[in-house]
């Protein structure tokens, strides 16, 4: 198994994308670092798009992520290597897109997403275990995003 570094990151565009522009190279909790990078990039990216255009952007990001994760995973020798964090970034952008734009809601979204990504409730766990492809890498985090949005929607309903 290859230990990715800056040379690896810039060796192929798929690596740069899959490793979350370098956030996945964090030696501590790369998935959390990737999610944090998504949160920090969101206010820079989101205003550039209308709502429908951002939805298309997310779809394109997901599809590109399937291919980038597959290529990078093959190169690293591990399908879902910890340095691959694009699967955290795109789904968390979706969560932020559907979350009220306040620090409190976004912090709750961040914490919930990380919990669901780590715990992997079904069917995310099944996908993580059985779908050893770029699609599997991306899909289990998309399910974590779905759980996050569901919990936030329920919380909003109860609190408002």
How many Å apart are CA 39 and CA 103, to the nearest integer? 11
Measuring CA to CA, how many Å separate 152 from each of 18, 61, 82, 94?
27, 23, 27, 13
CA 130 from centroid of its chain's CA atoms: 19
Q: What is the DSSP letter of 46?
A: G
Angle, in degrees to the nearest 10, between helices 30-45 and 86-97: 50
152 pLDDT exceeds 70?
yes
Q: Of 24, 21, 50, 37, nearest to 93 (Cα)?
A: 37
In this prediction, residues 45-58 reach a mean pLDDT of 98
Q: What pLDDT does residue 2 have?
A: 74
The pTM of this model reads 0.96
The 10s digit of each residue's pLDDT in 103-151 is 999 999 999 999 999 999 999 999 999 999 999 999 999 999 999 999 9
Q: What pLDDT does residue 119 have?
A: 97
How many Å apart are CA 80 and CA 70, to the nearest integer? 8
Q: Of 72, 39, 77, 75, nearest to 138 (Cα)?
A: 72
The number of C-alpha atoms within 13 Å of 66 and in the hemisphere containing its C-beta is 11
């Amino acid at each position: 198994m290859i230990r990715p570094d800056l040379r690896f990151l810039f060796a192929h565009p798929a690596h740069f994308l899959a490793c979350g522009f370098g956030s996945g190279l964090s030696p501590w909790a790369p998935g959390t670092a990737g999610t944090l990078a998504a949160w920090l990039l969101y206010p820079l990216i989101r205003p550039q798009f209308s709502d429908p255009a951002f939805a298309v952007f997310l779809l394109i990001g997901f599809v590109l992520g399937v291919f980038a994760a597959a290529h990078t995973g093959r190169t690293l020798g591990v399908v879902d290597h910890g340095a691959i964090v694009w699967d955290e970034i795109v789904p968390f952008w979706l969560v932020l897109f559907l979350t009220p734009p306040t620090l409190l809601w976004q912090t709750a979204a961040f914490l919930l997403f990380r919990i669901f990504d780590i715990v992997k409730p079904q069917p995310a766990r099944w996908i993580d275990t059985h779908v050893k492809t770029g699609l599997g890498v991306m899909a289990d985090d998309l399910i974590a995003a779905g759980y996050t949005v569901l919990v936030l929607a329920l919380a909003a309903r109860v609190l408002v």
